[in-house]
Amino acid sequence: MKHFIIGTAGHVDHGKTSLIKALTGQETDRLKEEKERGISIELGFAPFKLPSGTLAGVVDVPGHERFIKNMLAGVGGMDLVILVVAADEGIMPQTREHLDIIDLLQVQKGIIVITKTDLVDEEWLDLVQEEVRELVGGTVLEDAPVVPVSSVTGEGTRELIELIDRTAENLQERPTAGYFRMPVDRVFSKTGFGTVVTGTLLSGKLGLGDVVEILPDMKEARVRTLQVHGTKVEEAVAGQRVAVNLAGVERENIDRGSVIAAPGILKPSHRLDVQLKLISDIKKPLANRARVRVHIGTSEILARVILLEADELEPGKTGFVQLECEDPIVAARGDLLVIRSYSPMRTIGGGKVIDSAPPKRKRFHAETIGILRTKSKGTPEELLHQFMLSSGQTAYSRDDLERGGGFDEAITEEAINRLGSQGLLRQFAAENKTYYVLNSVYSRKAGEIAAALEKYHTAFPLRPGISKEEIRSRYFPGMSNKIFSALMDFYQDEDVIRISGENIAKTGFRPEPQGEQDRLFQRIEAEYRSAGFQTPGWEDIKSRYRLDAAEAEEILNYFINKKVLVKLDDNVLIHRDNLEKARDLLVRFLEEKGEISLGEARDLLNTSRKYALPVMGYFDKEKVTRRIDDKRVLY
């Protein structure tokens, strides 16, 4: 079944609420003050069953200029707008401002209703209709049908209902695939239930028990119950007015303007890149860094407009801007917004979100403008490619790409496949997910790592390579260890690098001494092998072979890493062959005698206590022996 939202717009006291009552039988003014003053202050809602059986939701917005921000909180979720003009007054200031807002937010379809026809004669009614036709020229309502109606006599209401039903057949349904999100327009607590929020589900599906994220505070809650038009349901879909009972969040932690969405999909930001258009009848240009009120979804946030192409934006003109918001804002690519002047408050323009979490942009920067043009007009794969190039990240999960590209799951999948078929993407597995990296980034990083390894191996030919952590922190900052390890395995599989323990080296590299250095190494190793269990100190070796401190450290590290020499303590090194001989002698002795003292070990190894003590300590650590009082036994 198709689901959609009908909304009203128009000047205060032009009969919007009365019209809804005539159509639906429902009273949308619910506040005491509204009933006393006879005007709508807050958003009102009513279900509307059409002759075809379709159940629509109706949003009644306030028309008074003081409550424009409340009107804006309701208009964003509308699929069909009814612009109401009273026959006895004609076009008024909020008629024009509401029309500007409808045009800026590109509401799909519209119907113009001339109300209070019982108060005027036919000639006057014709003049009002002509005036309205002139007003809507060049807007999204230019071709909208005009219906005269009297909510008092009922004249025209049947024709209007039939027209709404026919129009509904041609409305484009909101996407139910992909992630869900819902801007919150009402919050209240209900005894026995807790926190309840209402709004229009813009995309996706929401079901009982689902975990949602409350933005911008990034708190999680669980859906306890769902209602659509006052009826409990197990699932709500895009295009429906929904009341959501949330468990795990208090009333004071959520407000109108908050967004509930699938966890991890949307990211609050203090910046938005926007293609902004000013309406043509404002009195003066918009200056750089002007303070404005940004209305998006159901939220109102103060921001500075950073003009990226000029010092001023003229009325009626369009330009790329970056909004620097005073509070975190939640948006997705493609969202439409309205801006109003800070003071006096008046609608001055609107635009489309190009990037919902951009970096700080430079003004008058050709590359920046080129990026924004691509983002505003490009295909999904072009936009995804641009996001991956500009975000500074190396590897992306599917969720990263959905969030960064601003597309639903199906479009993201198609864009990934196209980039892959064009040879622009590589993929690897980590943490039971598939990660994607641009081929250009993959190759650039491979080149950077190869150059670093070449330089390192030249400077330190005896070392096994650069540590993994150094490579990660230098070339992949911010990447988790698990994803980094998986990416390095991918590089190794493609023979870009070789991994040796916790080190990374060039493919084919082996840390081996060459030429004269090799002969030096052989002499030093022969000394330690022939020394048995009374080995020379390393300081003696440095002095004897005239090694400087750096060279001596490299040689020692090489011997230890290759396990040619084993360091028993800070002063004792022993050749591995001699250590194996010691193990054999010790095990045979203990198998025969059962236990051995330090003195017996000294005599067995034909050495001194200075060397026997670290040798025995080593075998204790290796669990060859176990110390009991002043004796050792086999472990």
Predicted pLDDT at 142: 93
User: Active site includes 13?
Assistant: yes
Question: What's the CA gap between 523 and 574, in Å, rounded?
Answer: 15
Question: What's the CA gap between 58 and 74, in Å, rounded?
Answer: 10
Compute the chain's Rg from CA coordinates. Answer: 37
Catalytic residue among 2, 64, 270, 317: 64
Question: What's the CA gap between 47 and 68, in Å, rounded?
Answer: 23
Tell me if the pTM is above 0.75: no
Question: Residue 30: pLDDT band by 50, 70, 90 thresholds?
Answer: very low
Query: How many CA atoms does the CB half-sphere of 273 hold within 13 Å?
Result: 24
Six-digit token string for 634: 């086999």
Q: Is 76's pLDDT higher than 70?
A: no
DSSP letters along 444-509, please? HHHHHHHHHHHHHHHH-TTS--EEHHHHHHHHSTT--HHHHHHHHHHHHHTTSEEEETTEEEETT-
User: How many other CB atoms are there within 10 angstroms of residue 166's CB atom?
Assistant: 13
Let me know: does 124 contact 87? Beta carbons within 8 Å: yes
378-511 architecture in CATH? Orthogonal Bundle (1.10)
Residue type, 594: G
Question: What's the CA gap between 179 and 203, in Å, rounded?
Answer: 7
pLDDT, averaged across the chain: 87
User: How many other CB atoms are there within 10 angstroms of residue 626's CB atom?
Assistant: 12
Instruction: State pLDDT tens for residues 200-250.
Output: 888 888 999 999 999 999 999 999 999 988 889 999 988 888 999 999 888
223: three-class secondary structure by DSSP: strand
Question: What's the CA gap between 34 and 17, in Å, rounded?
Answer: 11
Decide whether 181-261 matches 269-369 in CATH topology: yes
Catalytic residue among 3, 8, 11, 13: 13
CATH number of 5-169: 3.40.50.300
Task: Please give the average per-residue pLDDT across 94-120, as a whole number.
Answer: 89
632: three-class secondary structure by DSSP: strand
| CA proximity to 579, closest of 536, 529, 620 | 529
**In the chain, % of residues over pLDDT 90:** 50
Six-digit token string for 21: 């009552």
Omega before residue 216 within 30° of 0, cis: yes
CA torsion, ordered 394, 397, 399, 403, to nearest 10 deg = 20
Looking at domain 181-261, which of 3.40.1010.10, 3.90.870.40, 2.40.30.10, 2.40.50.1020 is its CATH number? Answer: 2.40.30.10
3-class SS letters over 417-458: HHHHHCCCEEEEEECCEEEEEEHHHHHHHHHHHHHHHHHHHH
CATH number of 522-634: 1.10.10.10
Please count the helices (runs of H) and the strands (runs of E) in the chain.
19, 33
- Rounded to the nearest 10 degrees, the angle between the axes of helix 16-24 and helix 157-169 is 80
| CA proximity to 487, closest of 454, 419, 441 | 441
User: Domain residues of the chain, as ranges?
Assistant: 5-169, 181-261, 269-369, 378-511, 522-634
Instruction: State pLDDT tens for residues 497-555.
Output: 999 889 999 998 887 776 777 788 889 999 999 998 888 989 888 888 888 888 888 88
Predicted pLDDT at 361: 92
Catalytic residue among 17, 95, 198, 535: 17
| Fold classified for 269-369 | Elongation Factor Tu (Ef-tu); domain 3 (2.40.30)
Residue 157: which H helix or E strand, with range?
helix 157-169
Predicted pLDDT at 37: 39
Six-digit token string for 222: 């669980």
Instruction: State pLDDT tens for residues 447-473.
Output: 999 999 999 988 888 888 999 999 999
How many Å separate Cα 352 from the centre of its chain? 18
Residue 76: what are its φ and ψ, rounded to 5°? Answer: -60, -30
Q: Give how far Cα 616 sits from Cα of 66, 72, 536, 573, 613, Å.
A: 88, 81, 18, 14, 5
Q: Is 478's pLDDT higher than 60?
A: yes
User: Active site includes 17?
Assistant: yes
Instruction: State pLDDT tens for residues 596-625.
Output: 999 999 999 999 999 999 999 999 999 999
Bridge partners (DSSP) listed for residue 273 = 322, 355
Question: Residue 309: pLDDT band by 50, 70, 90 thresholds?
Answer: very high
Catalytic residue among 11, 14, 16, 69: 16
Six-digit token string for 615: 């040798």
DSSP letters along 503-530, please? EEEETT------HHHHHHHHHHHHHHHH
Task: Please give the average per-residue pLDDT across 283-306, as a whole number.
Answer: 94
Looking at beta carbons, which pairs linking 90-93 to residues 24 or more positions away fall under 8 Å? 90/127, 90/128, 90/131, 90/132, 91/131, 91/132, 91/135, 92/11, 92/14, 93/11, 93/65
Strands 55-60, 299-307: pairing is: unpaired
